[in-house]
Every structure is written in C-alpha cells, then in structure tokens.
C-alpha cells in the first residue's frame, strides 16, 4: 500500500539518497574508516569485485609474494591524483600503514595488521611489506584506504580536521557531513577509474529501523537497509526492489569451557542438535538467512560439506541421558547434584540477538536444559564471559582466517572478545596455524575443513544462523548487486558498494 509517487526519489537519476543505520565515527582511514574496502572517498591498494575476488586499485596489479610468504611488493598505478590535485605516490602508502601502526594512533583495529614488520617505499611507485610471519590472507588486508601524507601528516591523527574533512583518491568527494543527519558526496570527475554516472550520493543516517522504513515509504529515500519484517512491506512494491545480501554474519552461542554445565561435552553436543535452526531462519529472520553450523556459511566455497547437523531432539535427549544427566521433577536435568542450567547473555537493545537467545533457551528447555536469558551491556557481560554463555555475532567474508583464528585458537582464550568460550582443541589450533601459514589453496581448504569437522564433534559454540542483509532500493538504476557482507556492515556494504558504476535505467 505504498502511496503513489512513493518511488519518486529525492531528485533525478544522477542523484542517490540512501539510508544507513550507523554512521562512521570518523572518516579517517588512519583511525579505521573503510578498512574493509568500498570507502567511496578513498581507494585501497587492492579492491574486491562482486565475487569478493581481489583486484587491483591503486596498485597496478595483485602483489608479488615472495616464496617464504613474508614479502609483498605492490607496484602502484601512475598518474593517480588526490581530489585536491596532489599526486598520489608510494610515500602516501607508507605513511598510511606506518601511522596506523604507531602507538599514538587511536586505531582500534590495528590487530588486523599485526603481521606487518616493515613497510617501505622503493622509489615512487613500489611499496614492499615485510611480514613477521608467513600470513596467507595478508593481501586481503590491503583493501585498506590510503590517506594523503601531505594533508593528514600535518595534523594530529586522532582529532585533526582530516578526520571529518577527508581528502582521498576515491570516486567520490565528501561535500558535507552533518553528524547524526547525513553524509553527502559528489562524484570525483578526475577519478582514475572514470567519473561515476551517479553524480551525487547522500547517505542519510537514520538509526531507527521503523523510521527508516517510514521515510523510505514517504519517498525521501532511494534505498535503505531494513530488517526482514519491514522489508516484507515493500515486497509488492513494483517501483522498488529488495536485495538480499549473502553474508558471513553469524549468530552464535558461546559455551564456555569453564562452566560446569556448558563445559560438559555431552551438554554441548546435545545443545548443538537440539536447536531448530530452520525454524529460527524461517521465523526470526523471515527466511532471510541460513542455518549456521560454523563461521563459514553453507554456500561458501570454504564450507566443509557434510558438517550440517539436523535438528534432532531425540538424539539430544539420548546423548544427555547417556552422559548421566537425568531429568528432575521440573523437567530440568541434573547430574551429580549439578543442575543443567546456565545463564545466556545478550546485548541489550539488540532485538535479533534477543530473539535468538529466547529461541535458543526455549529449544534447550525441550531437551531438559534450563537457559536463563539475561541482558546487559558489554561492560556487564565482559567480566562474566569466562563462565557464562553469550549470544555473540561476527563474520568476515574475505578470508576464513579472519574469523576463525581469533575465535577458535586456544591461545586467544579470554583475550578481549576473541575466543570468548575459551575453546581449546589442539587439532583445531594446529589446523588454524596451518591455514594461515600456507599459500597453497588446497592445503588451506583441507585445514579449514578439519576445523569445521572438529567443531561438529566438539562444539565450543552453537552456531545458529547466518543473517542476510536486506536492502530496499528504488528500481531506477542498472548495475546493482550485493557483495558477500561481513558482520559489521557500514557505509561500504549494501547494493551501493559500487554506486560509482551504477547507470541510470533506460526507459
């Protein structure tokens, strides 16, 4: 029942207004902006195509990797200019990486570049990275945007003007940022990839889902990200199209090994098959998602076929019975005086996690395990993570190492939000190390298959779903599509990841 003219959009076809739920804290790559690519204002050395394959951007070609996997050399594209007219060169690349790694820089995602030992310029157009250890997925990190040294170098990295008035080489130039309201961009006519057809791009910041949907309906917006139940409302709207982006965005329940109930392997295995993932996808996500059996989604090439687990309540009960967990009067099992009961925390204000937690608790109860849902902020949850279960989320599509290494290696147990469950499985540790060291795709695939199989036998987490991200966009342009998206989807995700290549639809 969209009113007529609802799809009118804000202006002509060379102007696009979309809405996002979140806003970047800063626009400086040095502080972490755009680290996963598609930053609009900036370019990285490399970038990804629609299939998530790396392709050259500011570099002329993919890097040359030395045999020991510890040296990466990039040859830079020539003639690229920043939007202020200054030429781009190797020293900007070196400046960017070195600044990020500097201790005084408040960039919270430095860890991702942990492998880098040195970064050097070789002449005007070559940059060489030397790593501390062989790190197969390193090239994936170099989608990170490059900042101009001649501007950013003269200011305080953390609070300088550059953080809000960035200058880059990207397809768009920032024309205004009204915090809490919108970011406006205009096409960069001198972009090395050619001038975009969409001349004006505006990203309105609308935190609330319902308001976003309403404003989309009122015709002020050309596109917006929406939760499934609201996107549903636009399904019959012929002037708009809904895009469901595949993601690596999973929701999982951590089962801390240090808790007397969740530490019991039988309980973990029972829970893993007691949950009805299909029902969750159908009902909680309105079908916009997939059951998850590990960090890797079932349709990814990295997925280890055959590790899917069927919902099997009877078997779950049997496992518990066999392990000595006996049902009490109230239906909750006990073993050696220990009641099969544990708390499950979710972050308050997050509806999806809340629903997952409730559904998980209700499934667990059917198997005779009491899960007490609790809500809190991370500050409340964090000190309890060692022994209490948490409904967590994550997912990074570029390389399986990104997710799994931090999530599963025993050495990261209790290190911040990495490996919250203190999962400890020597076979997994070994496979993960192998996966990040080897450059051979076959070896890596085998290694990650091993990890996924072990996860099925010794689940430290109960993975529940992978969540599709839904976007509703006016049907006025050609060239739209979605990439596979990570958990944390900011400006760079959504059908507008490649807005620079959109073309107005021919009528």
Report the site for other proteins in 365-384 (rule: CB under 8 A). Answer: 373-380
Provide, rounded to whole angstroms, the least separation between the CB of residue 491 and other proteins: 13
Q: Residue 241 in 3-state DSSP?
A: strand
**Cβ atoms 186, 199 nearer than 8 A:** yes
Using CB under 8 A, which of 73, 134, 192, 232 touches other proteins? 232
**Cβ atoms 485, 18 nearer than 8 A:** no
Give, as ranges, the residues between 8 and 47 that touch other proteins (CB under 8 A): 10-11, 15, 17, 25-26, 28, 31-32
Does the footprint of other proteins cover residue 358 (CB under 8 A)? yes
Provide, rounded to whole angstroms, the least separation between the CB of residue 270 and other proteins: 19
Using CB under 8 A, which of 61, 279, 338, 427 touches other proteins? 279
Does the footprint of other proteins cover residue 411 (CB under 8 A)? no
Give, as ranges, the residues between 172 and 211 that touch other proteins (CB under 8 A): 175-176, 178-182, 184, 200, 202, 204-211
How big is the site for other proteins, counted in residues (CB under 8 A)?
88
User: For residues 63 and 495, which CB has a smaller minimum distance to other proteins in the complex?
Assistant: 495
Task: Give Cβ neighbours of residue 489 (< 8 Å, ≥ 6 apart).
Answer: 225, 247, 249, 469
What is the Cα Rg of the chain in Å?
A: 24
Does the footprint of other proteins cover residue 7 (CB under 8 A)? no
Residues in the chain: 507
Provide, rounded to whole angstroms, the least separation between the CB of residue 220 and other proteins: 6
- Strand 503-504 with 477-478, pairing: antiparallel
The site string for other proteins over 237-276 (x = CB under 8 A, - otherwise) reads ---------------------------------------x
Q: What is residue 280's DSSP assignment?
A: I
Does the footprint of other proteins cover residue 213 (CB under 8 A)? yes
Does the footprint of other proteins cover residue 494 (CB under 8 A)? no
Stretch that binds other proteins, among 97-105, 143-151, 296-304, 423-431 (CB under 8 A): 97-105
Could you tell me how far CA 245 lies from the centroid of its own chain?
12
Instruction: For helices 265-274 and 351-366, give the axis angle rounded to 10 degrees.
Output: 110
| Cα separations in angstroms, 30 against 49, 225, 455, 488 | 24, 27, 36, 18
Give, as ranges, the residues between 414 and 473 that touch other proteins (CB under 8 A): 415-418
Does the footprint of other proteins cover residue 133 (CB under 8 A)? no
| Cα separations in angstroms, 34 against 125, 246, 296, 323, 466 | 23, 20, 23, 49, 23
Q: Distance (Å, rounded) from C-alpha 423 to C-alpha 451?
A: 12
The site string for other proteins over 391-410 (x = CB under 8 A, - otherwise) reads ---x-----------x----
């Amino acid at each position: 029942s969209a009113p007529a003219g609802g799809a009118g959009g804000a202006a002509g076809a060379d102007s696009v207004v979309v809405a996002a739920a979140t806003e970047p804290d800063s626009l400086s790559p040095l502080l972490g902006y755009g680290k996963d690519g598609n930053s609009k204002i900036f370019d990285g050395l490399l970038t990804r195509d629609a299939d998530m394959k790396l392709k050259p951007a500011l570099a002329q070609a993919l890097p040359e990797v030395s045999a020991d996997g510890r040296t990466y050399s990039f040859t830079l594209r020539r003639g690229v200019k920043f939007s202020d007219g200054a030429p781009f060169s190797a020293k900007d690349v070196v400046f960017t990486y070195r600044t990020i790694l500097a201790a005084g820089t408040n960039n919270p995602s430095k860890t991702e570049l942990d492998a880098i030992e040195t970064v050097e310029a070789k002449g005007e157009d070559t940059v060489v990275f030397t790593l501390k250890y062989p790190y197969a997925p390193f090239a994936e990190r170099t989608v990170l945007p490059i900042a101009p040294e001649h501007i950013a170098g003269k200011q305080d990295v953390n609070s300088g003007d550059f953080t809000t008035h960035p200058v880059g080489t990207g397809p768009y130039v920032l024309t205004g940022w009204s915090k809490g309201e919108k970011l406006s961009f205009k096409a960069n006519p001198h972009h090395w990839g050619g001038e975009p057809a969409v001349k004006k791009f505006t990203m309105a910041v609308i935190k609330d889902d319902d308001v976003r949907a309403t404003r989309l309906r009122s015709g002020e917006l050309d596109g917006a990200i929406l939760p499934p139940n609201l996107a549903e409302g636009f399904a019959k709207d012929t002037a708009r199209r809904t895009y469901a982006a595949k993601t690596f965005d999973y929701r999982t329940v951590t089962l801390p090994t240090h808790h007397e109930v969740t530490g019991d392997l039988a309980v973990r295995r029972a829970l893993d098959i007691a949950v009805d993932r299909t029902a969750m996808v159908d009902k909680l996500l309105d079908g916009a998602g997939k059951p998850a059996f590990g960090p890797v989604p079932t349709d990814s090439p990295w997925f280890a076929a055959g590790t899917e687990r069927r919902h099997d309540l009877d078997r779950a009960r049997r496992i518990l019975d066999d392990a000595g967990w006996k049902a009490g009067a109230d239906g909750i099992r006990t073993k050696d005086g220990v009641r099969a009961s544990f708390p499950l925390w979710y972050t308050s204000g997050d509806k999806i996690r809340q629903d997952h937690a409730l559904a998980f608790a209700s499934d667990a109860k059917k198997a005779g395990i009491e899960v007490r849902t609790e809500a809190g902020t991370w500050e409340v949850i964090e000190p309890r993570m060692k022994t209490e279960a948490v409904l967590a989320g994550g997912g990074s599509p570029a390389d399986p190492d990104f997710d799994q290494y931090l999530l599963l290696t025993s050495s990261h147990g209790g290190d911040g939000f990495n490996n919250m469950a203190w999962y400890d499985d020597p076979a997994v540790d070994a496979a993960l190390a192998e996966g990040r060291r080897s450059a051979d795709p076959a070896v890596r695939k085998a290694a990650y298959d091993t990890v996924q199989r072990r996860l099925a036998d010794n689940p430290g987490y109960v993975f529940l779903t992978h969540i599709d991200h839904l976007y509703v966009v006016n049907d006025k342009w050609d060239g739209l599509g979605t990439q596979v998206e990570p958990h944390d989807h900011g400006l760079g995700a959504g059908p507008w990841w490649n807005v620079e290549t959109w073309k107005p639809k021919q009528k």
